[in-house]
Amino acid sequence: MKTRQLLLLILFSATPLVALAENPAFAPSKDNGKVKVFILAGQSNMEGRGFPEPLSWQVTQKKYRERYTHFLKDGDYDAFAKKVAETTDAEDRRKTPTYLWSVRRDVWINYLGKHGDLTVGYGAPREGFGPEYNFGHVVGNHYDEQVLLIKTSWGGRALARGFLPPSSMLSDEEYAQQAIEQNAQNEKWNTEEKVKVEAFNARVTEENKTAAKKKRLRQFRPRPIVTAAEYKDQFGKDYRNMVKEVHECLASIGERFPGYRDQGYEIKGFVWFQGWNDQYQDRWLSYEKNMANLIRDVRKEFKAPNVSVVIGQMGHDGKEAPKPDSPREIIMKAQAAVAVDDEFKDNAVCINTGQYWDMEAHAIYTGPGGWQKDVAKWRQFGNDRPYHYLGSPWFFAQVGAAFGDAMLELQK
């Protein structure tokens, strides 16, 4: 375990994440032990919605800045803030300022075609971050060996569909029958919708002849009619892509990470943060079974029968309880149940992410007039909707640390 690091992260429940010393220069690991590999998978919130705009403002405030010392190059608040101010275009918010992020060379990250040393910028928004950032710092502080994070996440994916594991797949005959039923529904919808669109356009065309302000015509977009094979291919597609990403990264680890010294690697953990898209079309009914199968199939695929598993429980209601018997509550219960099942309880844990809800961002978002009442103030704390945890950097910082802490507890 690393004792030389100057950065200490406080990691439990609602306790703030505090940087207690100047940001160290995170040098590459000199240890020749096997690289410790962690797979991080899920949908948009694993992609990460930690926006840099609110983070860069909070760095200028003494109340918040110590949360992010290790995010900044040399831990220098003033230099970071000065560079952002110098490169911000007040008239064009599409232009990205220059951010002086720290770079951690003893932790590598691979994320869908992008790879390198751990820094901010491996999230879904440009220059953003997700749970991977503080997760990498926590496990990086612990291991003397080099660490590799392989993040495989895509927004809008359901466990019951795109991420469906092989053990949950139905037979070819069952998918063929479902394809027939789906095509019949789509054909019916296409017929009815086409009539509606044509009627609408005819009416608008007639009105536009005399109207000063012309209305836009609608475009008919038919729902697809697919073959049985095409229908089946939608199920498990993201699971297969996840597996492909991991295998390809490990097969080319020396090419993607020049600091690799043929020391070998071992897969130590799997982190799962997902749930939103399973709230629809009765997908929640099979969540517990699919989650258990996902763990089994991941362990089998990567020949890691006891790999530690951290499940990020849905927390979109913040510190409030979800509506009783709602799809969301059922999914949350399923996530928790898998972690305490006799089969998994010794090497899996479910983390309640709602406890890290950013209450300051929440107060602005839900206050009188909502976030639109004062957009400038809103962007000091968040930049997104509740399904993305308000785009709060503080939320994603805390969750990443909690996932890392939980993973290390399992490693014991």
pLDDT per residue, tens digit, the chain (412 aa), is 664 343 444 333 333 343 333 445 589 999 999 999 999 999 999 999 999 999 999 999 999 999 999 999 999 999 999 999 999 987 887 788 999 999 999 999 999 999 999 999 999 987 899 999 999 999 999 999 999 999 999 999 999 999 999 999 999 999 999 999 999 999 999 999 999 999 999 999 999 999 999 999 999 999 999 999 999 999 999 999 999 999 999 999 999 999 999 999 999 999 999 999 999 999 999 999 999 999 999 999 999 999 999 999 999 999 999 999 999 999 999 999 999 999 999 999 999 999 999 999 999 999 999 999 999 999 999 999 999 999 999 999 999 999 999 999 999 8
What's the confidence (pLDDT) of residue 93? Answer: 75
Whole-prediction pTM value? 0.91
Residue 89 pLDDT: 87
Nearest to 272 by CA among 252, 251, 293: 293
Residue whose token pair is 């009416």: 203
> Which amino acid makes up residue 301?
E
pLDDT at 215: 94
Nearest to 356 by CA among 308, 411, 406, 307: 406
Q: Would you state the pLDDT for residue 12?
A: 33
359, 315 Cβ separation under 8 angstroms: no
Note the pLDDT of residue 328.
Answer: 98
Residue 2 has a pLDDT of 67
Predicted pLDDT of residue 389: 97
Judge whether 389 and 316 are in contact, CB under 8 Å.
Answer: yes
